[in-house]
C-alpha cells in the first residue's frame, strides 16, 4: 500500500495525504516522470573514493536518468556551432533539440528538491520553474527588443497546450479505451477555464480599445497603460490561484493514481541530495538561458533559410519541441485512462503561461523601458479566443471520447496552417514592435 501520513485537519477530521502530495508532486511532475528510467548504479557503487562515487552517481541520475538523454549531445554541438560560426539555422535547430531534455530535467530536479522542502515549497518551486524555458526565451527576446517573438512564442505555448496536447491526449486516450467511459474531475478544469477567460478578457480589451478609437496614435499610450494594469490584475489572480491550489483546495489538484495500482506503489526516496539538486537546477537553468539566447538570435536566419515565417516557427515549432517531454507524458497517461493528470498538464501549463508568464513579461518590459502591451493583433487574439472557447465546451460534461480530441486537433491544424501561410516580417522600430493593421480602405494603422 502507498504510505500515508496524517498531515492536515479537514472538517474536524484527519485528512491523509499520499506521498505524491507530501512531496509537492503535481501533474507536471508525474507527466515528466513517465520519460524517466531507473539508473543502474552497480558499477558506480564499486568506486572506492566517496566524493568521486557521489559525483558519478549524480551525473548518472541527472544526465542518464531520462529517455531523452540521447538529445544531450545537441547542447555542446550548439555551443560549438555558435563559437565556430556554423550556419545559424543549424545552431537554431541544435539549440531547440537541446532545450527538450533540459525542460524535463528541470521538472525532475524540482521534484527532488521537493522531497526535502515539503509539499508547499515544492509546489511553489514547481509553479515557478514549470515553464522556465518559455519565460527565459521571452526575457532574452525582450532584451533583443523582439516583441513579436515574445508574443508569438507565448501564444503558441497556450495554443499547443489547449489544442495539441489536450487534443492528442483525449484522442489517444479515447482510441486506447474504446470500451471504457473516460471520466475526469471537472473542478480543476473549471478553475483553469475561468482563469483562461480572465486572460482572454485582458487580451481583448486593448485590441477592442484600439479599434474603438478614431486613431491608433491617440490610444497608443492608453492601450499600454491598460495592458500594464491588466497584467497586474492577472498576476494577482495567479497568486490567488496558487493559494487555491496549494492551500485551500489542494484536493482539486491532487495527482491521483488508480486504486488498483496502490498495492504496487512503494515509498519513493530522493536519489540526489538537496544541495546537489539545487546546484544542478542552477546549472540547468544557466544552460537553458544560453540556448535560449541562441534561439532568439538565430530565429530570423532560420526563418529566411527554411522559407518559413517567424510567426509559424514561434507559434508552432518552439512550443512543440521545447515542451516535448511534458507533452509526451500527458499523452502516455491518457493512454492509461488517467485523464486528470493529462488535463493537469495541458490546462495547468496554459493557465500558468496566460496569467503568469505573459503579464510578467509585460511588467519586465515596463521595468526595462520597452513598450510591450497585451494587444496581440486581431488574428492572434482571435485564435486564442477560439481555442479557449473550444476547450471550455470540450470539458463541460466531465466525460471524454476520441471525437473531442480529434476536433481539437483539427482546430490546431487549421490555426497552424493559417500562420504557415502568413509571412508577416518581424518589426524593428525603436519600441521593438510595429503592429500593422490593414483597414478596409487600405490604410495601415500603427501603434
pLDDT of the residue at 108: 83
Mean per-residue pLDDT, 179-196: 86
Provide the pLDDT confidence category of residue 432 given band limits of 50, 70 and 90: very low
Mean per-residue pLDDT, 222-249: 90
* Most confident of the following: 32-46, 116-130, 228-242: 228-242
Is the predicted pLDDT of residue 333 greater than 50, yes or no? yes
Residue 248 lies in a domain: yes
| Crossing angle of helices 88-117 and 274-306, rounded to 10° | 160
Is the predicted pLDDT of residue 309 greater than 80, yes or no? yes
Cβ atoms of 151 and 376 closer than 8 Å? yes
pLDDT of the residue at 405: 92
Residue 374 lies in a domain: yes
* Most confident of the following: 176-180, 383-387, 400-404: 383-387
- Tell me what the pLDDT averaged over the chain comes to: 79
pLDDT of the residue at 364: 94
Residue 199 lies in a domain: yes
pLDDT of the residue at 27: 58
Residue 349 lies in a domain: yes
Residue 38 lies in a domain: no
CB atoms within 10 A of CB 383: 25
Provide the pLDDT confidence category of residue 194 given band limits of 50, 70 and 90: very high
Residue 4 lies in a domain: no
Provide the pLDDT confidence category of residue 443 given band limits of 50, 70 and 90: very low
pTM of the model: 0.81
For residue range 26-47, list pLDDT tens digits in order: 555 555 556 666 666 666 666 7
String of DSSP letters for 44-79:
HHT-S-HHHHHHHHHHHHHHSSBTTGGGTTHHHHHH
pLDDT of the residue at 28: 57
Residue 432 lies in a domain: no
CATH number of residue 187's parent domain: 1.20.1420.30
Q: Could you tell me which residues are beta bridge partners of residue 445?
A: 437
Domain count for the chain, please give it: 1
Mean per-residue pLDDT, 241-246: 86
Mean per-residue pLDDT, 325-348: 84
Burial class (CB in 10 A: 0-12, 13-18, 19+), 418: middle
Residue 19 lies in a domain: no
pLDDT of the residue at 181: 76
Provide the pLDDT confidence category of residue 363 given band limits of 50, 70 and 90: very high
Which residues have CB under 8 Å from 40's CB, separation 6+?
Answer: none
Domain that holds residue 247: 48-254+272-421
String of DSSP letters for 89-118:
HHHHHHHHHHHHHHHHHHHHHHHHHHHHH-
Is the predicted pLDDT of residue 343 greater than 80, yes or no? yes
Percent of the chain at pLDDT > 90 equals: 33
* Most confident of the following: 146-150, 187-191, 196-200, 266-270: 196-200
Amino acid at each position: 500500500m502507498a504510505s500515508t501520513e496524517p498531515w492536515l485537519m479537514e472538517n474536524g477530521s484527519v485528512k491523509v495525504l499520499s506521498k505524491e502530495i507530501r512531496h509537492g508532486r503535481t501533474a507536471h511532475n508525474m507527466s515528466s516522470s513517465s520519460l524517466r528510467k531507473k539508473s543502474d548504479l552497480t558499477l558506480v557503487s564499486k568506486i572506492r573514493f566517496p566524493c568521486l562515487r557521489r559525483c558519478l552517481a549524480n551525473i548518472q541520475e541527472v544526465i542518464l536518468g531520462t529517455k531523452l538523454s540521447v538529445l544531450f549531445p545537441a547542447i555542446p554541438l550548439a555551443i560549438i556551432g555558435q563559437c565556430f560560426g556554423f550556419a545559424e539555422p543549424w545552431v537554431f535547430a541544435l539549440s531547440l533539440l537541446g532545450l527538450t531534455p533540459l525542460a524535463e530535467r528541470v521538472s525532475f530536479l524540482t521534484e527532488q528538491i521537493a522531497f526535502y522542502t515539503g509539499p508547499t515549497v515544492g509546489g511553489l518551486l514547481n509553479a515557478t520553474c514549470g515553464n522556465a524555458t518559455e519565460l527565459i526565451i521571452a526575457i532574452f527576446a525582450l532584451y533583443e527588443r523582439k516583441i513579436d517573438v515574445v508574443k508569438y512564442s507565448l501564444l503558441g505555448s497556450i495554443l499547443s497546450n489547449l489544442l495539441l496536447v489536450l487534443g492528442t491526449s483525449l484522442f489517444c486516450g479515447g482510441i486506447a479505451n474504446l470500451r471504457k467511459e473516460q471520466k475526469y474531475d471537472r473542478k480543476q478544469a473549471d478553475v483553469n477555464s475561468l482563469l483562461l477567460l480572465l486572460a482572454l478578457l485582458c487580451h481583448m480589451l486593448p485590441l477592442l480599445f484600439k479599434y474603438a478609437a478614431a486613431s491608433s496614435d491617440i490610444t497608443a499610450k492608453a492601450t499600454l497603460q491598460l495592458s500594464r494594469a491588466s497584467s497586474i490584475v492577472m498576476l494577482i489572480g495567479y497568486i490567488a490561484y496558487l493559494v487555491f491550489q496549494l492551500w485551500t483546495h489542494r484536493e482539486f489538484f491532487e495527482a491521483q493514481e488508480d486504486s488498483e495500482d496502490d498495492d504496487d506503489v512503494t515509498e519513493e526516496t530522493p536519489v540526489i541530495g538537496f544541495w546537489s539538486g539545487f546546484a544542478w537546477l542552477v546549472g540547468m537553468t544557466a544552460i537553458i538561458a544560453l540556448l535560449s539566447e541562441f534561439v532568439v538570435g538565430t530565429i530570423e536566419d532560420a526563418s529566411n533559410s527554411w522559407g518559413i515565417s517567424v510567426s509559424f516557427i514561434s507559434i508552432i515549432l518552439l512550443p512543440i519541441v521545447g515542451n516535448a517531454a511534458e507533452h509526451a507524458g500527458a499523452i502516455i497517461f491518457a493512454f492509461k485512462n488517467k485523464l486528470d493528470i493529462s488535463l493537469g498538464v495541458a490546462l495547468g501549463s496554459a493557465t500558468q503561461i496566460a496569467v503568469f508568464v505573459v503579464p510578467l513579461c509585460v511588467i519586465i518590459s515596463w521595468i526595462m523601458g520597452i513598450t510591450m502591451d497585451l494587444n496581440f493583433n486581431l488574428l492572434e487574439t482571435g485564435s486564442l479566443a477560439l481555442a479557449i472557447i473550444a476547450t471550455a465546451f470540450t470539458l463541460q460534461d466531465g466525460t471524454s471520447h476520441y471525437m473531442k480530441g480529434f476536433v481539437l486537433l483539427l482546430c490546431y491544424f487549421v490555426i497552424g496552417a493559417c500562420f504557415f501561410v502568413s509571412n508577416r516580417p518581424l518589426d524593428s522600430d525603436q519600441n521593438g514592435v510595429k503592429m500593422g493593421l490593414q483597414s478596409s480602405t487600405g490604410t495601415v494603422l500603427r501603434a
